[in-house]
Amino acid sequence: MKKPHPIAKVNQPGTPIPASGTFPVFSTWDGRLIDRRDGRSRPDRGTCPDRFKDLPFRGLMAWNGIVLREEDTDIPSLTYAYLREARKISCGECSVCMIGIDRVMEIFRRFMDGKGTRQDLKEIAEIAHEVTVNGKCNFGRSAALVPVADAVKWFRSSFLALIRGEKRLFNHGYESAVTAPCIEACPAGLPVTAYIEKIKNFQFQESLALIRSKCILPGVIGRACTHPCESACVRRKVDETVAIRLLKRAVADQDLKEGCTPLPLPKVKKKEKICIVGAGPAGLAAAYHLRLMGYAVTIFDSLPVMGGMAAVGIPDYRLPKDVLLHETGLIRRMGVEVLLNRRIEHLKWDEWKKRGFKAFFLSIGAHRGADIGLAGENDIVEGFEQGIDFLREIQKGHSGIKSAHKVFILGGGNVAIDCARSCLRLGCNRVEILYRRSRAEMPAMPEEIEAALKEGVKIRYLTAPLRVICKWGRIEGLECIKVRLGAPDAGGRRKPIPVEGTNFILKADRVIAAVGQEIDMSFLTEKDKKLLFQGGKIFVDPVSCRTNKEGVFAGGDCVTGPATLIEALDMGNRAARSIDAYFQGKGFDEMRIFEGIDTASQRGGVFFPERRVAGEPSLEGRGRLDDFAEIERGFTQAEAMEEARRCLRCYRLMVWEVEKSRQETTQGRGK
C-alpha cells in the first residue's frame, strides 16, 4: 500500500474532471512541445509527466511550462492568475524578479483597461528572458516567468484578442501550490523554504507559526528528525546541504528562551467529543488540530508522560526531556484533556460511546520488542533484554541500571545505536553492535553511526546471532555465524546467507536485541483484531486514515510499523482533517499535486551563491560520555540567520484551473 505524498490541496468529491481526447492537448513542459490543438498534425516532440494525467485540472502553468487538458482553456486569464501568485512569493531582495513581475502585471492591467498594444507582447517576452538570465535566486532564474513566456509565444492570438477587446480576463476558479525538493522529501510537507526565509529575515515568531502548522513539536523534530529534506536539498550539489533540521530547532529554542509562545485557542466550540488512544506524535498532532477546530479531545495513554516513543525511546543526549515536556504541555494547555497511566485493558466501543465519544483515533504506537528468532531468547534469562525495554528503563532513571563489562547489541537501526551509546554512558567497558549486513545496508542515520563510532562503539558486520548461551538463568554469551550477502530481499536489501562452518562463540555480560518493534493488540477483542488488523498492523485508508470500523481512525507506528516521528505527525495531521470531514458528512480526499514529478528539473539557469558552509556545533571530547547531557549545541540566533542565507530559493509554483465558472476580474474593462 503506497503512502501518498503529503503535499495537499483538498479536492472535494464531485469535482473530478475527465480527460477529453488524448492527453495532453498542449504542453511545453521542460521546453519540449506537444501541440494537438484544432486537430493539428504537428509531430509531438515532448513529454508530459504521467502524474498530470490523474490531476483534476483543465489547464495549468508551472515552473517548467504549460500543460492543457482542455483546448478552450483561457490562457490569458490563467497567465494573470499565475503572475498574481508569483508576485506573492517574490522576495524582492535582488529586485530583478519582483520588478519584472510587477512590470508584466502592469501590462496586463493595460490590457484590462483597453490600452494594450502588440509591442506589449514583445516586451513581456523580453522581460521573461531578462529575469531568467539575471535573477539572483533559483525561483527568479528558472521558475518565475518561464510559463509566461511560453503563453505569449504559443497563444499569441488569444492575447491579441485581449488587446482588441474581444476577450476579457476572468477568474475561472484557480488553485495554486508551492513546492521544492526539500518540501517534497518531507513526509509532512512542511513549508521549508518559507520558514527558512522568515529566519533569514529575523522573523523567528513568524517562522515558528509556519512550522507549527504542520509540525506541532518543532523542538523535538528539530533534534530527532531523520531529515530527508536535507538529502533532497539542491545546495548539496555545490557544497553541503542547508542544515534544515537545525534551523527548525533554532526557531523552537529561541521561542523557549524568550518565554514560550502559547498555542492558539479554538475560536468556536463544537459538540462532538473525540477519544485519542496514545499520546505519541500522531496522537498529539491530531489532538492539536482537532482542539483548534473546536472539538473536545481526551487522550488516554498507559505511560506516565506524553510523547510516546519520543519520551521513552530517545535518550536525553539526543532529546532533553524538558524540551518534550514543554511542547507537550502547550498542547495540554489548549484544553486537551490528557489522562496518563491509563492503560485500556478492553476497548468496548459501545461503552465508550455512552461516555460521549463520537470518534476514536488509535495512535498506540509499536512499543513491544520483536523476537529476533534466537534459540533461547524467550527463556527468562538475566542479562538478555529488548532494546525498547532497555531505553524505557533508562528514561525512568538510569541510576539503578547495572553496568556491564561486555555488551552486545543486535540490530542496525537507530534503536540499536541509541542502546549502544547509552551503554557507554552507563559505564559499560566494551560495547559492540552485531549486524547481519554491511555498513551500506544499516538503516540507522549515518550521522548517528558516525557518532557511535567516534564515542567508542564497535560494529561487527556480516554476523548473525544463532543462540543465547546461559547458565543458571544468567547470560554468558552468544553463538553466532558469519554470513555473506545474496540477492536483494522483498525490502530491497541484500539477503544475509549463513556461511556453513563459521560458527563461533562470543562471551557477553549483557545482550540487547534491537531488531524491530511490534504492536500490542491485547486491548482489543478477537473480533476487532480481525476487523482492524492486517499483517500485524492496523489497516487504514492511506489518505483518510479511516479503519474498517465506523468512526474509528488510526495513525502512527501502529499503522506504518516502526517509522519516524515526522511520519507519525503527518498521519495525525491528516487524521484530524479527516475526522472533521467525517463529522460534517463529507468525503476526504487530498489531491497530491506534485507526487511523481521531478521538482528539480528547470529550464532556466541555476544560480549558486558562494557562501561558507555552516557547521553543526556539538559537545566534543570524551566528556560527552560522562552523563546523558545533550550533545548537539545547535545554532545561536545569529548562526541560524547566516545558515538560512544559504538557501537557494529553489521552490516552484503551480497554478491550475479547476472549474468552468466565469467570474470576471474586478479590474479594468467590464468592472
Q: Is the pLDDT of residue 488 over 90?
A: no
Which comes out higher in pLDDT, residue 453 or 260? 453
Asked if residue 250 and residue 278 are part of one domain, the reply reads: no
Q: Is the pLDDT of residue 198 over 90?
A: yes
277 bridge partner residues? 300, 362
pLDDT of amino acid 189:
92
CB-hemisphere CA count at 13 Å for 73? 28
- Does 670 fall in a domain? no
Mean pLDDT, range 557-562, rounded to an integer = 94
Cβ neighbour number for residue 236 with a 10 Å cutoff:
12
Report the CATH number at residue 211.
1.10.1060.10
Mean pLDDT, range 555-567, rounded to an integer = 94
Lowest mean pLDDT among 56-70, 238-252, 301-315, 653-667: 653-667
Among residues 498, 518, 538, the one where a domain terminates is: 518
Map 462-515 to HEC letters: CEEEEEEEEECCEEEEEEEEEEEEEEECCCCCEEEEECCCCCEEEECCEEEECC
pLDDT of amino acid 617:
53
SS3 86: helix
Mean pLDDT of the chain: 87
Q: Is the pLDDT of residue 604 over 70?
A: no
C-alpha cell at 230: 536535507
- Does 439 fall in a domain? yes
pLDDT of amino acid 660:
53
- Per residue in 646-664, pLDDT (tens digit) is 998 888 899 998 755 455 5
pLDDT of amino acid 14:
34
pLDDT of amino acid 490:
78
pLDDT of amino acid 9:
32
pLDDT of amino acid 343:
84
Asked if residue 73 and residue 112 are part of one domain, the reply reads: yes
pLDDT of amino acid 143:
78
- Per residue in 23-78, pLDDT (tens digit) is 889 999 988 888 888 766 566 677 787 778 877 889 999 988 999 998 889 999 99
pLDDT of amino acid 23:
85
Report the CATH number at residue 164.
1.20.1440.230
- Does 3 fall in a domain? no
pLDDT of amino acid 614:
47
Asked if residue 627 and residue 507 are part of one domain, the reply reads: no
Cβ neighbour number for residue 670 with a 10 Å cutoff:
12
pLDDT of amino acid 398:
61
Asked if residue 422 and residue 514 are part of one domain, the reply reads: yes
Q: Is the pLDDT of residue 402 over 80?
A: no
- Lookup result for grid cell 530481499: 489
Asked if residue 190 and residue 74 are part of one domain, the reply reads: no
Q: Is 165 left (phi over 0), alpha (psi -120 to 50) or beta?
A: left
pLDDT of amino acid 666:
45
Distance (Å, whole) CA 487 – CA 364: 35
pLDDT of amino acid 395:
86
Asked if residue 224 and residue 346 are part of one domain, the reply reads: no
Q: Is the pLDDT of residue 80 over 90?
A: yes
Mean pLDDT, range 335-357, rounded to an integer = 88
Asked if residue 137 and residue 16 are part of one domain, the reply reads: yes
Distance of alpha carbon 620 from its chain centroid, rounded? 30
| 568: Cβ contacts below 8 Å, ≥ 6 apart | 280, 281, 282, 285, 308, 363, 555, 556, 557, 560
pLDDT of amino acid 416:
96
Asked if residue 421 and residue 350 are part of one domain, the reply reads: no
SS3 414: helix
| 441: Cβ contacts below 8 Å, ≥ 6 apart | 412, 485, 493, 494
Cβ neighbour number for residue 33 with a 10 Å cutoff:
16
Q: Which of 171, 190, 172 is nearest to 182 (CA)?
A: 190
Summary count for the chain: helices (H), strands (E)? 23, 28
Asked if residue 255 and residue 279 are part of one domain, the reply reads: no
Distance (Å, whole) CA 307 – CA 220: 10
- Does 288 fall in a domain? yes
Residue span of the structural domain in which 505 resides? 369-518
- Lookup result for grid cell 563489562: 405
- Per residue in 82-129, pLDDT (tens digit) is 999 999 888 877 788 889 999 999 999 999 888 999 999 999 999 998
pLDDT band at 13 (very low <50, low <70, confident <90, very high): very low
- Does 2 fall in a domain? no
pLDDT band at 15 (very low <50, low <70, confident <90, very high): very low
Distance (Å, whole) CA 414 – CA 448: 8
In percent, the amount of the chain with pLDDT more than 90 equals 60
Mean pLDDT, range 433-447, rounded to an integer = 93
Asked if residue 95 and residue 27 are part of one domain, the reply reads: yes
pLDDT of amino acid 492:
79
Mean pLDDT, range 151-168, rounded to an integer = 93
- Does 601 fall in a domain? no
pLDDT band at 12 (very low <50, low <70, confident <90, very high): very low
C-alpha cell at 669: 474593462
- Does 28 fall in a domain? yes
pLDDT of amino acid 19:
43
Among residues 503, 518, 533, the one where a domain terminates is: 518
Structural domain count, the chain: 4
Cβ neighbour number for residue 330 with a 10 Å cutoff:
19
| 339: Cβ contacts below 8 Å, ≥ 6 apart | 298, 299, 300, 301
Q: Is the pLDDT of residue 17 over 80?
A: no
Name the range with the highest mean pLDDT among 84-88, 336-340, 391-395, 587-591: 336-340
Report the CATH number at residue 383.
3.50.50.60
Asked if residue 31 and residue 158 are part of one domain, the reply reads: yes
Asked if residue 388 and residue 319 are part of one domain, the reply reads: no
pLDDT band at 491 (very low <50, low <70, confident <90, very high): confident
- Does 51 fall in a domain? yes
Mean pLDDT, range 627-654, rounded to an integer = 90
